[in-house]
Structures are given as C-alpha cells and as structure tokens.
Structure 1
Amino acid sequence: MTIFFFCRIEKFEAQNLPVIFTQHGHVLKEDSYAEIVKWWGENGSIVRYSPAWQLMTELNSYAQPGKPNIVRIQDKNRYDSFVNTNLASILHEKNVKKLIITGTMTNLCCETTARSAFNQDFYVYFPADLNATINDEMQAATILNLQYGFAQITDFKSIMEAVENLRI
C-alpha cells in the first residue's frame, strides 16, 4: 500500500503542500557516543551514504532538488526527525500546522516523530496503512498509543480524499 502512496505525491505538489523526506543515518566517527549507535552497535546502525541509508528507488524521482515544496533532510541521526535537523524551522517557514507522518519504522522513527510533533503543537495525522514495522504486534501497539493521546489515526483513502478537497 505504501508504494501506491508514492505515486500520489503529485497530488500534494498540485495542492502546493510540502512533502518532506527524511533519511536516518549515522557518521559512525561522529555519532559513536550516541546512545542510538551504542544500542544497535556499529554493525546494526544505518551508516549515512550506505545502501541502507538510501531512499527507496520509488521515491528518488520525487525527492530531487529544485522542487519548491519538496524537502529532503539527509542529516537525521535520531528516531525523532526534529532532533539535530532543521525540520521545525522548515515547517514554521512553510506555515505548516498539520503533519501527515508516513514511513518506517512505525514504532521507532514514525512514532517518536509523531509524539514530538504533537508536543510542539502540530496536529498529527498518522495513516496506519502508510507506516510499517517488523511485525503486527509492534504496529498495533504504536497505533494504540498514538491514538490515545498524540495523533489522529487515519488511512490512505482518507488522506487522499482530504488532499483532494484541501481539508487538511
């Protein structure tokens, strides 16, 4: 289902809505002190510029520089997309008040970013079918927790209807 969403990015562009891609990765020499690298170890961490760090092939054509409402943050090195990046300033500059969070891993980066966004007074939409993790149990736990106090749980169809009607 998520790959189908990629082909709908044009609808966001057509409505002049920003799309922000984040890439999580570490420069091990710089991040060796970080708890996240200690947790996963050097072999388990995503190394910046490695194949694991690259965007999915389906996303590359959308994340090219020069598009006015497409932003690519490549220096993310924590689960939270707001930490050590310029995400907050980008969102404020573009006058964004509501976020749709999609990606992987639901229970790590996506959930942490959703909680952080909510705590920074953004309204968060979290489409359950546009986020993925390693098993159904972790997916369900994240959805339950976010729904309780951090995000409006939604789905692909509802998001697309809202974008087409500019209700988000």
Structure 2
Amino acid sequence: MATQSSSTSSYKEYEIRHRLPDPKTSALLVIDMQNHFSSIATPILPAITTTIKLCMHACIPIILTRHRHKRGDNGGVLGEWWDGELIVDGTPESELITEVSMAVEATTETEIVKVVVVEKETYSAFRKTGLEELLREMGVEEVIVSGVMTNLCCETTAREAFVRGFRVFFSTDATATTSTELHEATLKNLAYGFAYLVDCNSLHQAFSA
C-alpha cells in the first residue's frame, strides 16, 4: 500500500506553479486522521506530526476534521456508495489517532495556537460544518491540506477551498490513500488546476525564513 509518492515524475510535469504559504494568513487542515483510517494513515504519521509541529511553531491555526455519522444515519448516497460502511460517532474508529492528538497537545503546551475540531459527514470539510465562516473569522486566506484520503476527502476539500476563494497548498508527503496511482492522480489534478504542492521540507523553508 503506497501512501506517499515514490515516483515524482508522474506529477512533476504539472507542477509549474511554485509558491510557499504565508504563515500570517494560513491555516492547516488535518483531514480525518482517525482510527478508522489507521492502516492508510500510520505510514504518514511522521510527516503529519512534523507538519503539525511546523505550523504550530509558526502560530498557524490547526483545524482537525473528524468524519462521523450519528447512529442510525444511513449516510445517504455516501452510505450507498460504500455499502453502508460508515464511521459511527462514539466508536473507537471515529476518534482521532492518538499520535495526532498527542502532537497537538504536546505543542500547545509551549505555543499559543488556535486548535479546532470540525465534524463532518461527507468528503468536503466545508459542507454544513461552518468551516468557511471559521476561517474567515480568523483572517485565513490560505489553507494547507494534509491527512487522508488523498483522492477523496483531501482532494474534495482542496477543490472546494479553491472555489471558495482560498489559496490552497496541498501536502505530497502528509497525505495518503490506498495506492500510489490514486495518490499521484490527485497530485496531477491539483497541481494542474487548484493547488500549490508542498511537503515537510518546503514548509520548514517557508516558516524558517
């Protein structure tokens, strides 16, 4: 199971725009790093926790999303698509992965950073969550997208952020999905029309300047 891009050539040809996020106007979105997705998320935990720490040290707000459905909710077309395999609120699978929670808690002991958990019930972190209003209130103009799954919730959220007027930065090493093919397909699409691609090294460069 490939969670990071091992072959950069497939999407590098589309990465013709280069920019680094401005820590003064950015927020980090950490998408659905929950126990339900642990097999996909575990390999990128080092990159995720590094990204969180870099952003928190730069005083960038952290928005953690948690996908969940109320017990008895059939999930509509999402539930139909995944044959009823939904993340039910209140179950261990719905909770954030311990390492992610610990990374946030450990850093907030030394940094004063706004951390918010947004609960959602579809691929987009913007749908019926109040996320856009929250970001506007904080003066956020740019979002950095990380988490799982690259080609589903992360990509949908990135695209929707773009059409809502946010500048989008998408992590290549702190996002993951079930195959390299799907991961890189998203990177191609986003680099072509929606997002600047970043990784832990480029974020370190941006926030150390």
Bin of the TM-score, shorter chain as denominator length: 0.7 to 0.9
CA–CA distance in structure 2, aligned partners of residues 80 and 149 of structure 1:
18
Contact 1:104 1:131 in 2 (8 A): yes
Contact 1:18 1:70 in 2 (8 A): yes
Aligned to 1:39: 81
Structure 1 residues 133 and 23: CA distance shift in structure 2, 3 A? same
Deviation, structure 1 residue 49: 2.2
Equivalent runs, 1:145-160 vs 2, <5 Å: 145-160=189-204
Instruction: Map Cα deviations across residues 5-39 of structure 1 (whole Å, 9 max, x no partner).
Output: 3145343233221011001111142x325211121
Aligned to 1:128: 172
CA–CA distance in structure 2, aligned partners of residues 88 and 54 of structure 1:
23
2:112 is the counterpart of 1:70: no
Equivalent runs, 1:130-145 vs 2, <5 Å: 130-145=174-189
Equivalent runs, 1:8-157 vs 2, <5 Å: 8-29=51-72, 31-32=73-74, 34-42=76-84, 44-63=85-104, 68-73=113-118, 75-157=119-201
- Please, which runs of 5 or more residues in structure 1 have no aligned partner? none
2:202 is the counterpart of 1:161: no
Letter of the aligned partner of 1:162 in structure 2? Answer: A
% same residue: 35
Letter of the aligned partner of 1:71 in structure 2? Answer: V
Contact 2:173 2:199 in 1 (8 A): yes
Please identify runs of 4+ aligned residues in structure 1 that moved more than 6 A.
Answer: none
Structure 2 counterpart SS, 1:129: strand
Give RMSD over aligned pairs: 2.1
Contact 1:63 1:71 in 2 (8 A): no
Contact 1:127 1:159 in 2 (8 A): no
Structure 1 residues 63 and 34: CA distance shift in structure 2, 3 A? farther
Contact 1:107 1:138 in 2 (8 A): yes
Higher helix share: 1
User: What TM-score does the superposition give when structure 2 sets the normalisation length?
Assistant: 0.71
User: What TM-score does the superposition give when structure 1 sets the normalisation length?
Assistant: 0.87
CA–CA distance in structure 2, aligned partners of residues 108 and 84 of structure 1:
17
CA–CA distance in structure 1, aligned partners of residues 157 and 104 of structure 2:
20
Letter of the aligned partner of 1:111 in structure 2? Answer: E
CA–CA distance in structure 2, aligned partners of residues 150 and 60 of structure 1:
29
- Please, which runs of 5 or more residues in structure 2 have no aligned partner? 1-42
2:46 is the counterpart of 1:4: yes
Deviation, structure 1 residue 61: 2.6
Letter of the aligned partner of 2:125 in structure 1? Answer: S
Structure 2 counterpart SS, 1:130: strand
Letter of the aligned partner of 1:19 in structure 2? Answer: I
